[in-house]
Amino acid sequence: MTPLFRSLLRFRTPDGGPHVNAASHVAPEAPGRMPLMGHAVPLFKDRLAFLQGLRAHGPIVRIAVGPKAVTVINSPDLLQEMLTTKSKHFSKGLLFEKLKLFGEDALPVAEGDRHLARRRLMQPAFHHQQIDQYIRTMHTTVDPMIAAWQDMEPLDLKNEMQLMTQNVVMAALFSTTPDRDTGQAILKSVDTLFAAALRRALLPLPLLERLPTPGNRRADRASRVMRTAVGAVIADHRANPNAYDDIVSLLLRTRQQDGAPLADEDILSEVTGLLAAGSETTAVTLAWLFHELGRNPNLEEQLHHEVDTALTDAPLTMKSLTRLTFTRRLVNESLRLYSPAWLVTRRTTAPVRLGDMDLPAGQDIVWSPYTLHRDPALYPDPLQFDPDRWLPQRPQPPRGAFIPFGTGKRQCMGNEFALTEASLIAALVASRWRLRPVPGPPVRPVGAITLHPSELRMTAEPRTPARRHRRTA
């Protein structure tokens, strides 16, 4: 516990509520803090509800997780300030430190000059024109996987979407597509490492991370599976240097300032990091999208009408996907209501003021796109799944209030890739199937490394498109 935090605890109002010295410009503390535990009990009991409730305590509020003081930012204006004009005062923070399980200095977790250099290196692979080239690969990868649902019932939809988006990333960026068993093994290892990273971020006790606990042993095994799978891809590229033109071959060709190639470990980390970061968020977004369609037949009917009208027998391109305007609104609304990256961290690297609040160096910061996107002050009827809220004639949320991919210099580089992939998969599924929920317990959001459905089983009913137009040249 920091001296500043201890001193603040001595200043309480008569009713036991928080008291803040106006001259100190320190954020208020959330009520309900318990000795030793802080706010850990409600955080672990229902972390989503706890964070949502913190929005009632102002634009910026302090909580305690055991002895650790954490500042929670609720205001879109303060988030915009932190992530743009004052971003140099912040590192990525605790969660991203723990995500180094996937690679010590991979782009998603790298800091400073290293992050900038790697981002510049890989940015061309996610350029608008390059993504247009990926669409055919996405289509040929996804189509047979969707067709295979005919022999699978019921579907574990989250798992199916994870396998699908994982294969898209591997096919488009690494020029390889694993068979289903290999893909499932990779997916299981990714889930295990994500779970370990979140557990270590919420309970940051470095000593426990070094002990041979069951969780740590699972993480070690998962890491070996990931490294073996990715290592095989890299070895194949090394053995056949003229056969590929993708991110792996780009990394193998890269030379550092002294002319030396990237170290093997660096290449392994970058490929592993891209694989992990590039599939999970899109998969859960699609799972939530079809969950909502299963509960809203009218929206499903609109999607089917658009897909049947807009898609032709001609090859899919970026231009043809732009005709899927309702599909894109469905994707945006899924990203809003079920923000996959529900919890994001930062840490101050120097004393800094946000708004009128002073933050010391070394302060852990968190914010939640999930709670931000469900704030009734920012979104009318926020719990209603309403894709038409994204129609241009409707009032739009204020700047900084819709940030599913972050903002500023650390905005997700693959956001256009992910949006294109989500729209394409949603359209291809809808052109072939109606997905119906299987009776069972209510589907609820689970705040793991991403916000995923507790369990989502659906049956795939074949459908014949109402009509299909062949586009003329």
Tokens of 403: 């940030």
DSSP characters over 150-191: GG--SEEHHHHHHHHHHHHHHHHHHS----HHHHHHHHHHHH
Looking at residue 14, what is its pLDDT? 33
Residue 397 vs residue 209, higher pLDDT? 397
**pLDDT tier at 272, thresholds 50, 70, 90:** confident
pLDDT confidence band for 467 (50 / 70 / 90) = low
Q: Which residues contact 107 (CB under 8 A, 6 or more apart)?
A: 115, 118, 119, 122, 270, 273, 274, 413
* Rounded-to-integer distance, Cα 83 and Cα 409, Å: 8
Q: Rounded to an integer, what distance in angstroms lies between the CA atom of residue 364 and that of residue 108?
A: 19
Helix (H) or strand (E) holding 375: none
Q: Rg (Cα) of the chain, in Å, rounded?
A: 23
Beta strands in 355-419 (DSSP E): 357-359, 364-367
Residue with the bigger pLDDT between 314 and 306: it is 306
Q: What is the pLDDT at residue 444?
A: 96
Query: pLDDT confidence of 285, banded at 50, 70, 90?
Result: very high
Query: Could you give phi then psi for residue 460, rounded to 5 degrees?
Result: -105, 115
Mean pLDDT of the chain: 87
pLDDT tens per residue across span 312-353: 877 888 888 999 999 999 999 999 999 999 999 999 999 999
User: Which band of pLDDT confidence, cut at 50, 70 and 90, is reported for residue 121?
Assistant: confident
Q: Given this model, what pLDDT does residue 128 score? A: 83
Give the whole-angstrom CA distance, residue 60 versus residue 30.
10
Neighbours of 452 (CB within 10 A): 24
Q: Phi, psi at residue 365, to the nearest 5°?
A: -120, 140
Helices H / strands E in the chain, number of each: 19, 12
Return the pLDDT at 472. Answer: 31
Tell me the C-alpha distance between 183 and 115, whole Å: 29
CB 340 within 8 A of CB 414: no
Give CA–CA dist 270/125, Å, rounded.
14
- 3-class secondary-structure state, position 144: helix
Query: Is residue 151 over pLDDT 90?
Result: no
User: What is the spatial distance between Cα 105 and Cα 270, in angstroms, rounded to a whole number?
Assistant: 8
Which pLDDT value is given to residue 466?
67
What Cα–Cα distance (Å) separates residue 322 from each residue in 54, 198, 300? 38, 36, 19
The pLDDT value recorded for residue 327 is 98
Residue 471: which pLDDT band, with cuts at 50, 70 and 90?
Answer: very low
Q: Are 78 and 355 in contact (CB under 8 A)?
A: yes
Measured distance CA(431)–CA(467) in Å, rounded = 10
Query: What single-letter DSSP state applies at residue 314?
Result: S
Tokens 């000059």 appear where?
A: 113
Average pLDDT, stretch 283-301? 97
Beta strands in 51-175 (DSSP E): 60-65, 68-73, 90-91, 155-156
- Report whether pLDDT(263) > 50: yes
Confidence at residue 4, expressed as pLDDT on a 0 to 100 scale: 35
DSSP state of 264: H
Task: Determine the average pLDDT of the residues in 46-57.
Answer: 95
Burial of 322 (0-12, 13-18, 19+ CB in 10 A): exposed
Enter the pTM of the model. 0.89
- In the chain, % of residues over pLDDT 70: 92
pLDDT above 50 (res 18): no
Residue 154 has pLDDT above 80, yes or no: yes
Q: Model confidence over 74-106: pLDDT tens digits?
A: 999 999 999 999 999 999 888 888 777 777 777
Mean pLDDT within 403-409: 89
Residue 93: which region, alpha, beta or left (left: phi > 0; alpha: psi -120 to 50)?
A: left
- Of 306 and 190, the structure prediction assigns the larger pLDDT to 306
| Average pLDDT estimate for 134-139 | 94
pLDDT at residue number 19: 39
Burial class, 192, CB count within 10 angstroms (exposed 0-12 / middle 13-18 / buried 19+): buried
Question: What is the tens place of the pLDDT at every residue in 166-175?
Answer: 999 999 999 9
Q: Concatenate the DSSP letters of all residues of 22-58 into one string.
A: GGGT-PPBPS--BTTTBTHHHHHH-HHHHHHHHGGG-
Residue 366 in contact with residue 403, Cβ under 8 Å?
no
pLDDT at 5 over 80: no
Angle at 362 between CA 361 and CA 363, to 5 degrees: 95
Residue type, 36: L
Give the pLDDT of residue 105. 73
Question: What is the distance, to the nearest Å, from the Cα of residue 165 to the centroid of all Cα atoms in its chain?
Answer: 13
**What CA–CA distance (Å, rounded) separates 286 from 79?**
27
Q: Is the pLDDT of residue 20 over 50?
A: no
CA–CA gap between residue 39 and residue 248 (Å, rounded): 44
Give the tens place of pLDDT for each residue, 413-462.
889 999 999 999 999 999 999 999 999 999 999 998 899 999 999 999 99
Burial environment of residue 146 by CB neighbours within 10 A (0 to 12, 13 to 18, 19 or more): middle
